[in-house]
Chain A
Amino acid sequence: MASIPILKEREKQIHRKGAQPFSLTCGQHSLAGVVSQRACVFCGSRVVLYPIADALHLIHGPVGCAAYTWDIRGALSSGPELHRLSFTTDLREKDVIFGGEKKLQRALTELIDAYQPRAAFVYSTCIVGIIGDDVAAVCRQVAREKGIPVLPVHSEGFKGTKKDGYKAACEALFQLVGQGQVDRIDPCSINILGEFNIGGEAWIIKSYYEKMGVAVVATMTGDGRVDAIRRSHGAALNVVQCSGAMTTLAEMMQERYGIPYIRASYFGLEDTSKALYDVAAHFAGNPEIMTRTQSLVREEISAITPELQQIKAAVSGKRAAIYVGGAFKAFSLIKALRYLGMDVVLVGSQTGNDADYQTLREMCDDGTIILDDANPLELSKYIIEKGADLFIGGVKERPIAYKMGIGFCDHNHERKIPLAGYEGMLHFAREVYRSVTSPVWRFAPTRAAAAKEVSP
Chain B
Amino acid sequence: MLLRHTTSEIKERTALTVNPAKTCQPIGAMYAALGIHGCMPHSHGSQGCYAYHRSALTRHYKEPVIAATSAFTEGASVFGGQANLLQAIDNIFNVYNPEVIAVHTTCLSETIGDDIPQIVNKAVAEGKVPAGKHVIHANTPSYVGSHVTGFAGMTKAMVDYFAETGGPRSKTINLIPGFVEPSDMAEMRRMTAEMGLETIIFPDTSGVLNGPMTGKYRMYPPGGVTVEALRRTGCSQGTVALGRLASGDAARALDVKCKVPCQILDLPIGLAATDRFVDTLHRMAGVGVADSLTFERGQMVDIIADMHQYFYGKRVGLVGDPDQLLALTQFLVSLDMAPVYLVTGSPAGKKYEKRLRAAVEGVPQEVKIKVGGDMYLFHQWIKQAPVDLVIGNSYVKYIARDEDIPYVRHGFPILDRVGHSYFPTVGYRGGMRLLEKILDALLDRKDRDATDIGFELVM
A residues at B contact (CB < 8 Å): 5-7, 29-43, 61-71, 81-82, 84-93, 95-96, 102-107, 110-111, 115, 125-127, 129-131, 157-160, 376-377, 380, 384, 395-396, 398-400, 402-405, 413-414, 444-447, 449-451, 453, 455-456
Say yes or no: is B27 at the interface (Cβ < 8 Å to chain A): yes
B148: Cβ under 8 A from any A Cβ: no
Query: What chain A residues lie within 8 Å of B92 (beta carbons)?
Result: 33
A323 → chain B closest CB, angstroms? 13
Decide yes or no: A126 and B46 within 8 Å by CB, A86-B20, A90-B16 being known contacts.
Answer: yes
A70–B219 CB distance below 8 A = no
C-alpha gap A42/B11 in the complex (Å): 30
Q: A39-B48, A65-B24, A93-B144 are in contact. List 4 more A-B contacts (CB 8 A).
A: A32-B87, A89-B15, A127-B108, A402-B213
**CB proximity of B103 to chain A, nearest CB, Å:** 11
Q: Is the CB of A63 within 8 A of B23?
A: yes
B64 touches A399 (CB 8 A): yes
**Of all chain A residues, which has the CB nearest B111?**
A130
Is B95 an interface residue, CB under 8 A from the partner? yes
Contact of A86 among B19, B83, B144 (CB under 8 A): B19
B215, CB-defined interface residue at 8 Å = yes
Interface of A is mostly: helix
Interface residue? B77 (CB, 8 A):
yes
Q: Does B72 contact A (CB under 8 A)?
A: yes
Q: How many cross-chain pairs have Cβ atoms below 8 Å apart between A and B?
A: 269
Q: Which residues of A contact B106 (CB under 8 A)?
A: 126
- Which residues of B sit under 8 angstroms from A43, Cβ to Cβ? 48, 51-52
Most chain A CB neighbours (cut-off 10 Å) among B46, B58, B69 = B46
Bound CA span A34–B49, Å: 14
What would 16 A/B residue contacts be, using CB atoms closer than 8 Å?
A6-B95, A31-B87, A32-B71, A32-B83, A34-B69, A35-B66, A35-B68, A36-B47, A39-B51, A70-B20, A87-B18, A110-B11, A115-B5, A126-B49, A127-B107, A450-B216
With A35-B66, A96-B111, A157-B49: A405-B24 Cβ-Cβ less than 8 Å: no
Query: Closest chain A residue to B57 by CB distance?
Result: A396
Instruction: Report which of B42, B64, B71, B144 forms a contact with A376, defined as CB distance below 8 A.
Output: B64
Asked if B91 and A127 sit within 8 Å, CB to CB, the answer is no
Instruction: Identify the closest chain A residue to B221 (Cβ).
Output: A403
> A130: which B residues are within 8 A, CB to CB?
77, 107-108, 111-112
Give the CA-CA distance A401 to B19 in the complex, in Å: 32
User: Shortest CB–CB separation between residue B210 and chain A, in angstroms?
Assistant: 11
Within 8 A of A (CB), among B58-96: 58-59, 62-74, 76-77, 83-85, 87-92, 94-96
The answer to whether B215 and A63 have CB atoms under 8 Å apart is: no
Smallest Cβ distance from B249 to chain A, in angstroms?
A: 18
Known: A111-B16, A403-B216, A455-B217. A64 touches B51 (CB 8 A): no
Contacts of A103 in B (CB 8 A): 15
Would you call B451 an interface residue if the criterion is a C-beta within 8 Å of the partner chain's C-beta atoms? no
Report the bound CA distance from A39 to B67 in whole Å: 13
Mark contacts of B329-345 with chain A using CB atoms, 8 A cut-off: 1 yes-contact digit, 0 otherwise.
Answer: 00000000000000001
Nearest A residue to B98, CB-CB:
A456
Instruction: Please report which residues of chain B, range 124-148, place their CB below 8 angstroms from some CB of chain A when the two chains form the complex.
Output: 141-144, 146
Closest Cβ of chain A to B231, distance in Å, is 24
Among the listed B11, B65, B97, which residue makes an inter-chain contact with A396, where contact means beta carbons less than 8 Å apart? B65
Residues B46 and A157 in contact, CB atoms below 8 Å apart: yes
